[in-house]
């Protein structure tokens, strides 16, 4: 195992062999003399790159249903095959993509259901399956490895077309005339041609094509790289600065996935390090060889193209071991659950191989898919496998599965550091972690969440403007004595809070719904234990709106007590009405008290060490004594990993400022000061890491943190950092 514990939390990675000196950038390598040239180049192209970055996801999803995006699966199947040990007893659900990995599972004897939202990908898979069923090995290899597209066009009308579904037949009827290479087919294939056949020779790496054709031994290949590092650094720099914002859509990579690497330094140099020094690049790495050469040869190709596997694959495909489904995994699983409910034959899966598509999803989508996936998995033998561009588990939902990390780059036993077992290493090199979770080891249930706001939260622009004016004008009205508190409060801070909210209580949720961006993901990700009987304290819960992000039946099933704590009586009146409306009065209690007052906490709240979850949803930033609030939360929580603290709020810093270059770093510092001043006028003090470092002791460990920019109503130029974090009490 590499760099996590059994729950997949972030712990330091082991030191890896570093021959490309990934700590140094290209600017460091070429020296300051080149900096003006670099900055001039970036200044010229930056407006275009910025526009491309804005539309990259729209461009990617525009291509879905219109063209093949992936002509080769960009996930090395041997990584999961070594840990899954598939056989005839396994039933696998996976993403179809180009079909390469699905066919590997078929070779292993498993039943496979491969889903893809893009019907063009399904068409690509169908043509491979049809050809594999009826062609000889040499015929099959000539089409999909050697790019004999004339032969493909010759046999398609009479031998293959009738085996396809109507949408796939229509796709190939249109595309077959223009195809001249399966290797450079589709969006990613076209990008690969530009990258490896045009871009590489331009920057002095054209010799790699000859090295691949001659199957140059690893030591010789790496030796040449060692004396030509500047070219690799140039390639990595250009990928980061130019190719990444301009072309990631054509590679089928959404912006959200790329952002998972934002905290790393020199990501693309590390990728080059992985594929050059940790794989047999010229002899075994078919992912890059195929694109560089333009074809696969019999020594370096996917398993489904190897002669020794063809007969087994053909036999298992003829047995009907592969089902292709146009749609999402979640869509298929819902249909499967409907069959189960109707007492019809349905599938129970032993393996879910999710490739990297969890990287694409916001936490709400991950929860939605995993919650239904768990209901379709074999509870005793079920395993879930995924890989990620992130160094650690990138969503608390996936952490709840208690995953274990797979070592993607095992070293030769007994050898010196840096001698890797090439036959076991991940040949793609772009995934920074791979994970497997056994369903039987999961102590949590992944429950569905409510994602749509009630109709009552719809608001007019006038209401938004009116509420915004109340917020902005409050400090002025308070300073000149025009504000009076209508209800009794516990102390001076309580009086200020009540004065601020008493005239906003009825529209509190409607105004804030559109700028508390971290609230929904935090509430989506709070753990729900299998055993239930949980206790949850929502500090600063105000109107109890937070409860509506979780279905009522889940609240009743999983929680024996929920306490909404707030210091504003006006907000709690709204909360009590909401609790009664949802029929939760027997579960939820609304308590008016100061969470920083130890006597009040002891009087109104459960005993120390008895609470499963404490949450602060945009309330900690408004509590003057943050240290005391955090300490009280820790004191209430259960220990031994059973207590969880969740915080969603505004933050002063992103945590990535140290990666910015000096001019940008200065602008970010000035912006943070402006944000800090603006929010302070409304009694909101942006959080920093020091808040948790001072209030939490060593028994609390950070499990997850995510920060991002979020918009604010009526002020489009104001985009402060928001985020959420989870801490576990050990």
Show which of 293, 319, 347 is a domain's final residue: 293
CA distance 634 to 699: 9
In a domain, 25, yes or no: no
Return the axis-axis angle of helices 307-318 and 137-144, rounded to nearest 10°.
100
Residue 343 banded pLDDT, cuts 50, 70, 90? very high
For residue 499, the model assigns a pLDDT of 57
In a domain, 531, yes or no: yes
Evaluate whether 28 touches 34 at the Cβ level (below 8 Å): no
User: Rounded to 5 degrees, what are φ and ψ at 561?
Assistant: -155, 130
| Locus of tokens 């949803």 | 617
Sheet strand arrangement including 322-326:
322-326, 111-116, 91-95, 351-353, 383-388, 433-438, 404-406
In a domain, 384, yes or no: no
CA distance 305 to 132: 10
In a domain, 392, yes or no: no
For residue 601, the model assigns a pLDDT of 94
For residue 557, the model assigns a pLDDT of 94
pLDDT single digits (tens) 364-377: 999 999 999 999 99
For residue 390, the model assigns a pLDDT of 96
For residue 484, give the CATH number of its domain.
3.40.50.150
Alpha helices, DSSP H, located in 620-661: 626-636
Strand partners, 325: 115
Reply yes or no on whether the pLDDT at 222 is more than 60.
yes
Reply yes or no on whether the pLDDT at 520 is more than 90.
yes
pLDDT average, residue stretch 416-433: 83
| CA distances in angstroms from 717 to 256, 512, 668, listed in the order given | 22, 17, 14
Sheet strand arrangement including 643-651:
588-592, 559-566, 534-539, 613-617, 643-651, 721-729, 700-709
| CA distances in angstroms from 579 to 106, 187, 586, 587, listed in the order given | 52, 51, 9, 9
Q: Worst-scoring range by mean pLDDT, 61-65, 482-486, 711-715?
A: 482-486
Reply yes or no on whether the pLDDT at 11 is more than 50.
no
For residue 8, the model assigns a pLDDT of 45
In a domain, 533, yes or no: yes
Show which of 293, 312, 346 is a domain's final residue: 293
In a domain, 502, yes or no: yes
pLDDT average, residue stretch 700-716: 89
What is the rounded average pLDDT for all residues in the chain?
87
- Which residues, at least 6 apart from 216, have a Cβ–Cβ distance to it below 8 Å? 282, 283
For residue 65, the model assigns a pLDDT of 74
Residue 12 banded pLDDT, cuts 50, 70, 90? very low
In a domain, 215, yes or no: yes
Reply yes or no on whether the pLDDT at 416 is more than 90.
no
Its domain, for residue 639, covers 455-729
| N-to-C CA span, the chain | 21
pLDDT average, residue stretch 504-530: 81
User: Rounded to 5 degrees, what are φ and ψ at 721?
Assistant: -75, 135
Reply yes or no on whether the pLDDT at 177 is more than 80.
yes
Burial code (b: 16+ CB inside 10 Å, e: under 16) for 152-183 equals beeebeeebbeebeeebbebbeebbeebeebb
Q: Highest mean pLDDT: which of 146-160, 449-463, 470-484?
A: 146-160
Show which of 293, 310, 345 is a domain's final residue: 293
Reply yes or no on whether the pLDDT at 25 is more than 60.
no
pLDDT average, residue stretch 74-84: 94
Q: Worst-scoring range by mean pLDDT, 71-85, 227-241, 606-620?
A: 227-241
pLDDT average, residue stretch 50-66: 76
> How buried is residue 499: exposed, middle or buried, by Cβ count under 10 Å (0-12/13-18/19+)?
buried
pLDDT average, residue stretch 345-372: 96
Model pTM score: 0.88
In a domain, 306, yes or no: no
User: Rounded to 5 degrees, what are φ and ψ at 206?
Assistant: -65, -25
Number of structural domains the chain divides into:
2
Evaluate whether 569 touches 590 at the Cβ level (below 8 Å): no
Q: What percent of the chain has pLDDT over 90?
A: 67
């Amino acid at each position: 195992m590499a760099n996590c514990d059994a729950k997949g939390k972030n712990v330091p990675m082991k030191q890896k062999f570093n021959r490309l000196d990934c700590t140094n950038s290209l600017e460091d390598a070429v020296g300051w003399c080149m900096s003006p040239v670099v900055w001039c180049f970036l200044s010229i192209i930056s407006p275009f790159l910025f526009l491309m970055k804005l539309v990259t996801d729209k461009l990617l999803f525009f291509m879905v249903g219109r063209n093949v995006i992936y002509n080769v699966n960009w996930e090395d199947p041997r990584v999961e095959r070594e840990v899954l040990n598939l056989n005839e007893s396994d039933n696998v659900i996976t993403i179809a993509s180009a079909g390469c990995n699905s066919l590997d599972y078929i070779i292993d004897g498993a039943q496979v259901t491969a889903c893809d939202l893009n019907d063009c990908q399904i068409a690509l898979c169908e043509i491979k399956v049809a050809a594999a069923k009826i062609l000889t090995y040499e015929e099959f290899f000539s089409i999909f490895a050697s790019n004999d597209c004339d032969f493909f066009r010759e046999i398609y009308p009479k031998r293959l077309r009738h085996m396809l579904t109507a949408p796939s037949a229509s796709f190939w009827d249109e595309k077959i005339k223009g195809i001249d290479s399966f290797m450079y087919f589709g969006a990613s294939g076209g990008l690969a041609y530009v990258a490896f056949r045009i871009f590489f020779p331009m920057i002095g790496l054209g010799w790699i094509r000859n090295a691949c054709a001659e199957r140059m031994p690893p030591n010789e290949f790496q030796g040449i790289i060692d004396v030509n590092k500047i070219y690799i650094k140039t390639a990595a720099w250009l990928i980061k600065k130019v190719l990444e914002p301009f072309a990631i859509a054509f590679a089928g990579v959404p912006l959200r996935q790329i952002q998972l690497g934002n905290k790393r330094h020199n990501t693309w140099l590390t990728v080059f390090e992985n594929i050059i020094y940790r794989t047999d690049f010229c002899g075994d790495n078919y992912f890059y060889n195929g694109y560089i050469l333009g074809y696969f040869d019999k020594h370096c190709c996917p398993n489904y193209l190897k002669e020794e596997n063809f007969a087994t694959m053909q036999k298992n495909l003829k047995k009907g071991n592969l089902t292709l489904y146009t749609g999402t995994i979640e869509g298929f699983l819902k249909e499967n659950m409907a069959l189960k409910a109707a007492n019809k034959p349905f599938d129970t899966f032993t393996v879910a191989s999710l490739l990297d598509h969890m990287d694409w999803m916001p936490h709400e989508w991950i929860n939605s898919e995993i919650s239904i996936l768990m209901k379709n998995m074999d509870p005793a033998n079920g395993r879930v496998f995924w890989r990620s561009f992130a160094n650690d588990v990138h969503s608390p939902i996936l952490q709840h599965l208690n995953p274990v990390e797979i070592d993607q780059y095992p070293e030769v036993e007994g050898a010196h550091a840096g001698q890797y077992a090439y036959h076991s290493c991940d040949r793609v090199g772009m995934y920074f972690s791979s994970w497997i979770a056994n369903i039987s080891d999961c102590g949590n249930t992944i429950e569905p969440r409510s994602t749509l706001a009630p109709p009552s939260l719809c608001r007019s622009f006038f209401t938004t403007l009116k509420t915004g004016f109340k917020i902005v004008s409050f400090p002025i009205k308070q300073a000149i004595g025009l504000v009076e508190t209508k209800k009794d409060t516990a102390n001076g801070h309580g009086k200020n809070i009540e004065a601020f909210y008493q005239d906003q209580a009825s529209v509190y949720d409607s105004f804030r719904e559109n700028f508390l961006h971290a609230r929904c993901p935090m509430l989506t990700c709070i753990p729900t234990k299998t055993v239930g009987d949980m206790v949850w304290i929502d500090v600063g819960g105000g109107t109890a709106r937070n409860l509506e992000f979780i279905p009522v039946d889940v609240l009743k099933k999983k929680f024996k007590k929920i306490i909404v704590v707030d210091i504003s009586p006006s907000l709690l009146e709204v909360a009590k009405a909401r609790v009664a409306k949802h029929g939760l009065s027997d579960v939820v209690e609304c308590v008016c008290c100061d969470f920083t007052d130890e006597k009040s906490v002891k009087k109104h709240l459960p005993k120390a060490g008895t609470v499963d979850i404490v949450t602060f949803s945009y309330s900690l930033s408004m509590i003057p004594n943050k240290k005391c609030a955090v300490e009280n939360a820790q004191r209430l929580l259960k220990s031994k990993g059973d207590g969880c603290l969740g915080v969603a709020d505004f933050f002063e810093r992103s945590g990535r400022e140290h990666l910015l270059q000096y001019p940008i770093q200065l602008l970010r510092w000035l912006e943070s000061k402006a944000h800090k001043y603006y929010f302070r006028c409304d009694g909101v003090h942006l959080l920093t890491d020091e808040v948790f470092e001072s209030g939490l002791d060593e028994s609390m460990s950070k499990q997850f943190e995510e920060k991002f920019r979020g918009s604010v109503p009526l002020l489009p130029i104001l985009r402060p950092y928001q985020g959420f974090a989870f801490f576990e009490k050990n």
